Structure 1
């Protein structure tokens, strides 16, 4: 039933008449077969239903959003299914209400229609089958289908007459399977007509070879690799990779014969697993495309869909790319007709210019060799499309002015959703948890379950981390012996990351090696220590989080598996491997190829090479002390993020916490990660809001993204002093949304701090009534409450001083403009939460009644992390009419009014407060922080949430313009 669901009864009758005249294809038979375990039938319908659920555009269900019960109901209506069958299908194939990809795009001409995609889908279907064979669920495959379609449809039509480039960026999550997305993009692109695919895959041969193998295995397939060679004839296999030395060769995609003999086209590899791009000696001929119609260009459909595609996976290396550029320069004529796709994996590594903000501030940007060569490639291929992939949304591709005319994603920016089964920041931090810290358990606290400090009362916990590594390895072996598939347990690793200095690595590795041999894992003392860790930690966490996986009743059931884990880790008398080299020869001698090595059970010690580009398979325990000041570098260090099937409950992160900070040994890395992650998640959420079309047109384009990034990280500025963002952000409207400014004046600006506190005095003076109890979301808290009219609050906000004014000014502009709307803001409820615990600290502010003082810390660049407390949010959002359901709290409900907003005040102190004898606090030592929620009914249909003005309207697609020209 391609093209959408059709009338089931009519389709079944037609199928019965033509193919199976005696078949019983009634709805009742269908229902019975589903409920009695017909797995093939259920798999088929799971695929169809998920395809219909996920389709972003469905002509058969206009205006019905995807991945919703309403979309599923629309499909049932088209099928005309009865209620009983609908209920059975809903139970067996549940609606996946996961978010789709967020797409920020320029307007484009649609060409990749569902009909066209269906008509030419040979390699995509092969890849789809491979994913299902690997165990991907129907909803995961459908999600990838839609996410990869979102990329391909924004490339230029490979058949079009005019040559046009498109440049885009796909943002995933660290260790989240971005390769799967770009493999899907490559499959659909070659099906659609792209005949040269260049994948820039890593800065080391090992990383490039991993990407090559993945594409060969899941996309290109056995027949294209063999190129007619007989797999049973040794002589014919000379120079053919994988056959005979890769145990997974039988798992490589099979097409049932050379694709060119099956109505499709072959793929010729210009690189192999062992050979990067070297020269087009055979390659100049390899790029000579035969045309069925010699008088017509290659991109004409009569030629394009009969020509073989060429694929190369190229290392991001100056010498390699120079060879490729040199060879392409020797080819004339055909390049102008050749639809090409450049996929840049880890596009913020090597591909762009310096990401050092200090150099930007000094007006210095050294154009990197790789960046220059990628630009040359784009220049040589007039029909080339560039798609970068990264895990850091704040990558400098958004802001580097020299990239404004080459790899800046001027056409589209796609933010991929967090995939199912992925362990990311939400799995290591209790973001927005309303449960008090002291009441959290292994069940409701991610931090309590997975995160440990690097010190305890006895000192360094490195030995404990090693014990956790041995213990978790034994638990993996236990699970494998009790029926859990061994695949996820093939590799088992621990990462120790303390420094970028190689001398430190050698010293640390020697220390760990000595600790390993002195740990006594085969002795009574060693077993006693592991048993204690099992009882105090792993047993409790697994009881709460093992989710049906086998868990031993006692440590005694693990003893034999501990012995085997010790043997695997210590094999070759080498439990520790240092990973800090820069050369391919260095990595070759490590024997760390996770694809070709049967089992890697080791402790890895290193620095930068462990923080970027190097995927550590089977990572279960991380001991992490290194710090950095750059947000994107910090996120790339999150090697503990990723997929952990079968052992999520065993993952442990030992990381610098406050006790280390007090020792002046390392910053609180855990909270630094949380601050960056909050910025990242907030930014992704903003993109999702702004991606919605207004009157059928985008309200945000990629060239307008850089000013938004700068709202989060003020040091992200155009690098050269004579450059500036072309798009100037004027207004952000956030009706019903939580707005939390963080760029307050720092301690050195005492006069600004005092000024801000004085501006709030008219509001503070009104907080004179006794505290009331507010509730929402299952929590209650005490607060001082008052109301002020809109003009009074606006006067306060307009007079405030900021360390980064542009962070709040677009929000302020929306409040100023609110008076010009059809639904203006009448007034604001002001809420000052009051602590009730015995540990609370109170102070008078400019003669006010005692107010609870909140302690907060700036994490970087004078920005605070989270200021508000999650338990305050439900009641505040309800009062401001954000769509929250009534909470049942009489006080909250009495405050709800149309056209009313809410403000929460947090008098913030940094460090220990100093109070005068009458309990007052010096306003020069106080940050009067606040959050606000504008009335939800202040939105106006047909008006976007953002307003920009361009400095140069003639270059509206440019992210950066010259200052002197504006």
Structure 2
């Protein structure tokens, strides 16, 4: 019995919520039952509950956070069928069942806001449901332990619930480990660069082991360092102390000889999961490691014996319940290395009979690296498939383990998507493709680019512009800014130390790094490292001049950004408060007389010599100089300053460029990216690394958006299966294209339906004669424009507190006139617009009815406007657009303001057919919108002026580009958005041209 009212109330609430199970019920009744015996006189009123919440009772708030979040995330619960997860409506349904009053609801919402984060996007083929909530709850020893570990690491309830949801989405699509028939499932999980994919597959492994999978093989990178990092993570967060010790007495030093992590000077053994006893003693089962931190899989007799599973019922197969849930699980973390995998395959071949009964899970980290078969099929012998060595060994593992499930993890899915689905022995994700949501507090492309920002460039500030806050441009004409980048590194290190000394947890500040990269050549790395080392020793960080330089950078940059981006974090009132911390940062970075480490090797011996293991090294405060060798799996911990300036003008791989992505707790406002930019009026598209990378990010985001759009199930059936994903992949940068040319697919995209959604093709012709012909085809629409401009407006939103307006010439054309013009257009890639055109042609009443289209030709601001007549039209505003680096496609056509206004009109018309005063010309529910732009391709204002003579534009230099938004009513009764047809699998061309809406 408790001594205080607060503790009593907490115990009552804990027991009441536990009694409810997974379903919210009448809380007052359950609380009364919980209080009946021990606390008969307890005050169970909502007023007291409200008072404790308002008073900041942390324990009570944490308890309700876990339960409310679980109900928010529950997947299709019987008590809230058809109410989407993570919405206000779902939370209201829970409150209704709890029968809480309005004041208490508001207090709980204040303490535990609804986590309105997206769930995973799942593209799947039909599967047999088996991993029910009841079955998952019945055996959850390792998942429960892992979940508690995440709470100990201060993961939020929403983050844990999101991981729970995403890992469940994987496990439920594996084959039931208890089922009689052997079946392999293959899937792909797509995350973001450095976004916590390891946490997801650790959760998948925990749940799969609990469910009955007894052999888990994790393919963990191509270097010992990367494999050891993965091994350590699984040992610490999943396997735990008791399984590592295997009965050894922690107090007996002799019995601990050779045990991982014991006795290390920097050991954090106390942070490893503790189960309380060996799991087998607690009624669960043990996990036996067949690899350790320091030892990859070795071909030994004991390795073979370790794979021999004892059966409680010898006459029954291992996958039978009587045997499966009493057998220990085995985990191997192996390197993607030919000799290592060959030893494993050799040992497995010696185990006769059992492999056909063994539920196994293969987790392939960075699955687009080394795993994909890249040999040219044209060189294969008749009836024989030639494979690269790692791909061939993975194929052999799948053959030897008929009950093995394969799950690949990657942040760059294109290579895996383009694997030949007709090759049954390969790793094409034929069963499921899961795109993970962008994690909370993750810094990705959206945090370094003002993607789709409607704020004019002159109005952007540190507060409303990601680019202004984090990007520091490097132009040839303004110098290399390398000294400034180094100063920023020292200054940001000092600010981290200041924060740690003023109440901010210093865990995230353990490592502090800067990455410098300006060439792929090793000789250049050595030269750059020598330059940085020399500059470091001449920087005078202890001198008056050095402090004056840092003080100026703090005042002009860091102080202002931090004030607008992280006002809740402690900040010095003046640079003088930072002086001692600058000294300490300088000391840490320059320790050993060497502030710079070159990282460009590709061998285990090389990385061993570097002593750059972020897990085992107490503090790494260094400047790393490297190239593409850092681009795979090797996480640069504490990365705060990045200097990326290529001296070459090649458009080679951009994979290295994502190193600045990741989690930056407590210092995201300090992150800076110094990056090479093309001069404002330059001509070399490949020199602007920032824009080139933005193009790659947009391609990947488009792919994710398409998956999300078509993932919705219609009439109980998926609209899209993994086999149909390849045709959705629009062309992307040629230098990162996977071996798609070598693959053949059996599905062809023939129709994309877009009711109420923008259609914006991008692959316009480059030939002048073709451009002239296309412009001629737009003449009927150009002639429809009225001379009197209309005014359109967008109300204030998150990006601006002002109502924004623009003018445009407008006109009306019939549906048949528009389709006639679109049908005649020529494209740089044949068939580029066909899937959209198939849809639009059916809006004559065949599929749905569209009466007419409003044509909008926006006028630019007077200060930047160049007007000209096009084929005798009224004067139109010419706009400048550039094609993406290395591509034939424009990055975007419609401006954010124009597209937002058009979308608002479409959305308004979908809910009511009357006209809409104040938003421009009226329109009905069967009217579509077309934003029409006469585009001049170029990089400067002078390029636009050059195509105009006496107020007339040269039609051979004009790209008539457009964005269409069909009315929301232009939808089919079956609600399907994509349609496919069978493709001749003998066709020579493998990559299917596809358009990107």
TM-score range, shorter chain: over 0.9
User: Is 2:883–2:891's contact at 8 Å kept on the other side of the alignment?
Assistant: yes
Name the SS for the 2:961 alignment partner: strand
Tell me the distance in 2 between the aligned counterparts of 1:795 and 1:813. 12
Instruction: Tell me by how many angstroms 1:436 deviates.
Output: 0.6
User: Is 1:468–1:621's contact at 8 Å kept on the other side of the alignment?
Assistant: yes
Tell me the distance in 1 between the aligned counterparts of 2:377 and 2:763. 18
Shift of the 20–288 alpha-carbon distance from structure 1 to 2, 3 Å rule, reads: farther
**2:793 aligns to what?**
775
Q: Are residues 1:784 and 2:809 paired?
A: yes
**1:85 aligns to what?**
104
Q: Are residues 1:925 and 2:957 paired?
A: yes
**1:680 aligns to what?**
700
**1:420 aligns to what?**
440
Which of 346, 349, 355 matches 1:326? 346
Instruction: Tell me by how many angstroms 1:613 deviates.
Output: 1.9
Shift of the 861–829 alpha-carbon distance from structure 1 to 2, 3 Å rule, reads: same
Question: So what's the TM-score if we normalise by structure 1?
Answer: 0.94
Tell me the distance in 2 between the aligned counterparts of 1:885 and 1:547. 41
**2:229 aligns to what?**
210
Question: So what's the TM-score if we normalise by structure 2?
Answer: 0.91
**1:297 aligns to what?**
317
Tell me the distance in 1 between the aligned counterparts of 2:601 and 2:932. 51
CA displacement 1:427-465 (0-9 Å, x = unmatched):
111111111111111111110110011137541111111
Tell me the distance in 1 between the aligned counterparts of 2:387 and 2:880. 43
Shift of the 665–50 alpha-carbon distance from structure 1 to 2, 3 Å rule, reads: closer
Tell me the distance in 1 between the aligned counterparts of 2:604 and 2:559. 42
Q: Are residues 1:489 and 2:509 paired?
A: yes
User: Is 1:453–1:654's contact at 8 Å kept on the other side of the alignment?
Assistant: yes
Instruction: Tell me by how many angstroms 1:897 deviates.
Output: 1.1
**2:5 aligns to what?**
none
Instruction: Tell me by how many angstroms 1:290 deviates.
Output: 1.0
Tell me the distance in 1 between the aligned counterparts of 2:335 and 2:393. 12
User: Is 1:351–1:370's contact at 8 Å kept on the other side of the alignment?
Assistant: yes
- Counterpart mapping for 1:86-235 below 5 A: 86-235=105-254
Name the SS for the 2:80 alignment partner: coil
User: Is 2:850–2:927's contact at 8 Å kept on the other side of the alignment?
Assistant: yes
Tell me the distance in 2 between the aligned counterparts of 1:508 and 1:369. 36
The farther-off stretch of 454-463 and 242-251 is: 454-463
Instruction: Tell me by how many angstroms 1:271 deviates.
Output: 0.3
Tell me the distance in 2 between the aligned counterparts of 1:422 and 1:629. 31
User: Is 1:144–1:184's contact at 8 Å kept on the other side of the alignment?
Assistant: yes
Tell me the distance in 2 between the aligned counterparts of 1:430 and 1:656. 17
Shift of the 126–627 alpha-carbon distance from structure 1 to 2, 3 Å rule, reads: farther
**1:311 aligns to what?**
331
- Counterpart mapping for 1:812-961 below 5 A: 812-821=837-846, 823-859=848-884, 860-881=886-907, 890=917, 892=919, 894-911=921-938, 912-913=943-944, 914-915=946-947, 917-951=949-983
User: Is 1:226–1:240's contact at 8 Å kept on the other side of the alignment?
Assistant: yes
The farther-off stretch of 188-197 and 447-456 is: 447-456
**1:277 aligns to what?**
297
- Counterpart mapping for 1:517-536 below 5 A: 517-536=537-556
User: Is 1:660–1:667's contact at 8 Å kept on the other side of the alignment?
Assistant: no
User: Is 2:881–2:890's contact at 8 Å kept on the other side of the alignment?
Assistant: yes
- Counterpart mapping for 1:679-698 below 5 A: 679-698=699-718
CA displacement 1:510-568 (0-9 Å, x = unmatched):
11111111111111111111111112211111111113111112211111111111111
Tell me the distance in 2 between the aligned counterparts of 1:376 and 1:933. 50
**2:94 aligns to what?**
75
Instruction: Tell me by how many angstroms 1:399 deviates.
Output: 4.3
Instruction: Tell me by how many angstroms 1:226 deviates.
Output: 0.3
Name the SS for the 2:183 alignment partner: coil
Which of 804, 810, 822 matches 1:797? 822
Tell me the distance in 2 between the aligned counterparts of 1:479 and 1:744. 52
Shift of the 630–65 alpha-carbon distance from structure 1 to 2, 3 Å rule, reads: farther
Instruction: Tell me by how many angstroms 1:475 deviates.
Output: 0.8
Shift of the 376–356 alpha-carbon distance from structure 1 to 2, 3 Å rule, reads: closer
Tell me the distance in 1 between the aligned counterparts of 2:675 and 2:775. 37
User: Is 1:106–1:411's contact at 8 Å kept on the other side of the alignment?
Assistant: yes
Which of 64, 73, 89 matches 1:45? 64
Tell me the distance in 2 between the aligned counterparts of 1:657 and 1:366. 43
Tell me the distance in 2 between the aligned counterparts of 1:191 and 1:221. 15
User: Is 1:538–1:650's contact at 8 Å kept on the other side of the alignment?
Assistant: yes
Instruction: Tell me by how many angstroms 1:894 deviates.
Output: 3.5
Shift of the 173–719 alpha-carbon distance from structure 1 to 2, 3 Å rule, reads: closer
Tell me the distance in 2 between the aligned counterparts of 1:392 and 1:783. 40
Name the SS for the 1:835 alignment partner: coil
Instruction: Tell me by how many angstroms 1:882 deviates.
Output: 6.6
Tell me the distance in 2 between the aligned counterparts of 1:278 and 1:405. 25
The farther-off stretch of 716-725 and 502-511 is: 716-725
Shift of the 402–57 alpha-carbon distance from structure 1 to 2, 3 Å rule, reads: same
Shift of the 721–865 alpha-carbon distance from structure 1 to 2, 3 Å rule, reads: closer
User: Is 1:879–1:900's contact at 8 Å kept on the other side of the alignment?
Assistant: no
Name the SS for the 1:936 alignment partner: coil
Tell me the distance in 1 between the aligned counterparts of 2:915 and 2:110. 33
Instruction: Tell me by how many angstroms 1:666 deviates.
Output: 5.6
Q: Are residues 1:444 and 2:474 paired?
A: no
Which of 521, 524, 527 matches 1:504? 524
User: Is 2:50–2:107's contact at 8 Å kept on the other side of the alignment?
Assistant: yes
**2:783 aligns to what?**
765
Shift of the 923–85 alpha-carbon distance from structure 1 to 2, 3 Å rule, reads: same
User: Is 2:916–2:923's contact at 8 Å kept on the other side of the alignment?
Assistant: no
The farther-off stretch of 388-397 and 26-35 is: 26-35
**1:406 aligns to what?**
426
Name the SS for the 1:739 alignment partner: coil
- Counterpart mapping for 1:484-883 below 5 A: 484-626=504-646, 633-635=653-655, 637-659=657-679, 662=682, 667-710=687-730, 724-746=744-766, 749-777=767-795, 778-821=803-846, 823-859=848-884, 860-881=886-907
Q: CA RMSD in A?
A: 2.8
Which of 76, 79, 87 matches 1:60? 79
Task: Specify every segment of 5 or more residues in structure 1 that has no aligned partner in the other structure, as ranges.
Answer: 962-966
Q: How many residues align?
A: 953
- Counterpart mapping for 1:244-283 below 5 A: 244-245=263-264, 246-283=266-303
Shift of the 715–848 alpha-carbon distance from structure 1 to 2, 3 Å rule, reads: farther
CA displacement 1:371-427 (0-9 Å, x = unmatched):
111111111100000000111133344345676642110000111111110011111
Shift of the 283–759 alpha-carbon distance from structure 1 to 2, 3 Å rule, reads: same
Shift of the 960–505 alpha-carbon distance from structure 1 to 2, 3 Å rule, reads: closer
User: Is 2:372–2:419's contact at 8 Å kept on the other side of the alignment?
Assistant: no
Instruction: Tell me by how many angstroms 1:807 deviates.
Output: 3.3
User: Is 1:775–1:889's contact at 8 Å kept on the other side of the alignment?
Assistant: no
Tell me the distance in 2 between the aligned counterparts of 1:561 and 1:113. 54
Q: Are residues 1:386 and 2:406 paired?
A: yes
Tell me the distance in 1 between the aligned counterparts of 2:683 and 2:850. 50
User: Is 1:879–1:897's contact at 8 Å kept on the other side of the alignment?
Assistant: no
Tell me the distance in 1 between the aligned counterparts of 2:768 and 2:78. 60
